[in-house]
Amino acid sequence: MQSAQSHCNRSFPISLFSLILASLTLSSPTHAEIFSSQYHDYKVETIATGLENPWAMAFLPNGDALVTERAGRLRILRDGNIVEQPVSGLPDLKVGGQGGLMDIILHPEFSDNRQLFLSYAHQNSEGYTTRVARAHYENRKLSDVKVIFDALPRSDSTRHYAGRLAFDREGYLYVPVGDRGEKDRAQDISDDAGGVHRITTDGEPAPGNPFLDDPDASDTLFTYGNRNIQGIARHPETGAIWTHEHGPRGGDEINILEASTNYGWPEITHGIGYSGLPITDRTEAPGMAQPLHYWDPSIAPSGMAFYTGEVFPQWQGDVFVGALKFQKVVRLRINDAKDVVEEEDLLTDMDHRIRAVTQGPAGNIWLLTDAPDGHIMKITAP
């Protein structure tokens, strides 16, 4: 051992040797594996590791990607490496339970205004809630941070924050809020929990919101009866906003959002309680929407993307959903009648809880894994 160390010191300083070795380790993928599916062979590369429960990512025009860690950090992925120093200037947030720093989405005109939006858990003397802030991003720093949405009332629960974000074609921002583990709140339209809210980029209720003229309802509310939405995406052709949400034991749902729609939780569900006892004996009821698709048993879906790239042409138009519980990616093909005509499980042998699914600018599919040593992975052509 001593002679090996002496040899290193004679060649060049040990500190320089360590820096070069670390650089080589960071720049090389941990592994790459080849898989087969119904239409395509594909390769899965591990791009980076060591992230603490990564939650979401957004690609910047310069080729960088911003990645949130639920532990309360915003990281930069640059040329396949995680920049050591996190982005500064994050808003005050609370890490605990299921909460922390969650989604990130760029303003539709980000190239001009450098604005982005973050969802996160927040705590004050009145309890915990889901919050959204707008910020200006430049040179690894956030500035001009402004809170534009607070889900009220707050509660003592640290569960079911939801928090995925999406823009529609008109530039309005959709903000799902979970039922916070207090299921009856999802049927109360005066309560922000258990629904999807549609706001402007300044945080005002979007024009045309369905409950603007109802003094007993939240002005920002767009839908209600939602349990805990963990995936949201805009359909590339119709522009409709699609979501999926966690059921209890069973009953995970995919829904297409329509203004003022009641999606039924907890009055109707295809799942049962964690105790094994029924929540309700009804799976449908008048005035409550049926899901486009549901899973029983639950797969614990998280992350959602429509594929529109050229890397995998026979996947174009399909929906990709991550799964936490069953540790896989699900590909769904849905026809014009909104029937699921194909369902295929991918990456079932990799033992990763998939938190986020995102299509990259080059047409590859990017994944984040939910773990204290979370990975950034990329699905690409072999």
Kindly name the residue from 160, 244, 246, 270 that is annotated as catalytic.
Answer: 160
Question: What domains sit in the chain, N to C, each tagged with a CATH number?
Answer: 31-380 (2.120.10.30)
Question: What is the spatial distance between Cα 4 and Cα 15, in angstroms, rounded to a whole number?
Answer: 15
Write the burial class of residue 224 (CB in 10 Å: 0-12 exposed, 13-18 middle, 19+ buried).
buried
Three-state DSSP class for 2?
Answer: helix
Question: What is the spatial distance between Cα 382 and Cα 36, in angstroms, rounded to a whole number?
Answer: 10
Which pLDDT value is given to residue 183? 98
Catalytic residue at 235?
A: no
Q: What single string gives the DSSP state of each residue in 333-370?
A: EE-TTS-EEEEEEE-TTS---EEEEEE-TTS-EEEEE-
H-run or E-run covering 134: strand 127-138
Which pLDDT value is given to residue 33? 87
Residues shown for the chain: 382
Which pLDDT value is given to residue 6? 34
Q: Is the dihedral of CA 356, 129, 190, 275 positive or negative?
A: positive
User: In order along the chain (382 residues), what is the average pLDDT of each group of 10 residues?
Assistant: 36 38 40 91 97 98 98 97 98 98 98 98 98 98 98 98 98 98 98 98 98 97 98 98 97 98 98 96 98 97 98 98 97 96 97 98 98 98 95
Question: Is the pTM above the cut of 0.85?
Answer: yes
Which pLDDT value is given to residue 73? 98
Six token digits for residue 347: 């990456």
Q: What single string gives the DSSP state of each residue in 248-317?
A: SBS-EEEEE--TT-B--TTTS-S-B-TTSS-S-S-S--TTBPPPSEEESS---EEEEEE---SSSGGGTT
Residues 6 or more apart whose CB falls under 8 angstroms from that of 137 comprise 66, 87, 114, 115, 116
What are the phi and psi torsion angles at 173 (to 5°)?
Answer: -100, 130
Which pLDDT value is given to residue 11? 36
Matching residue, tokens 């052509």: 381
What are the phi and psi torsion angles at 158 (to 5°)?
Answer: -115, 30
Which pLDDT value is given to residue 10? 34
Residues 6 or more apart whose CB falls under 8 angstroms from that of 1 comprise none
For the chain, the first-to-last Cα distance in angstroms comes to 41
What are the phi and psi torsion angles at 179 (to 5°)?
Answer: -75, 0
Q: Identify each DSSP E strand in 139-206 by its residue range.
A: 141-150, 166-167, 173-177, 195-199
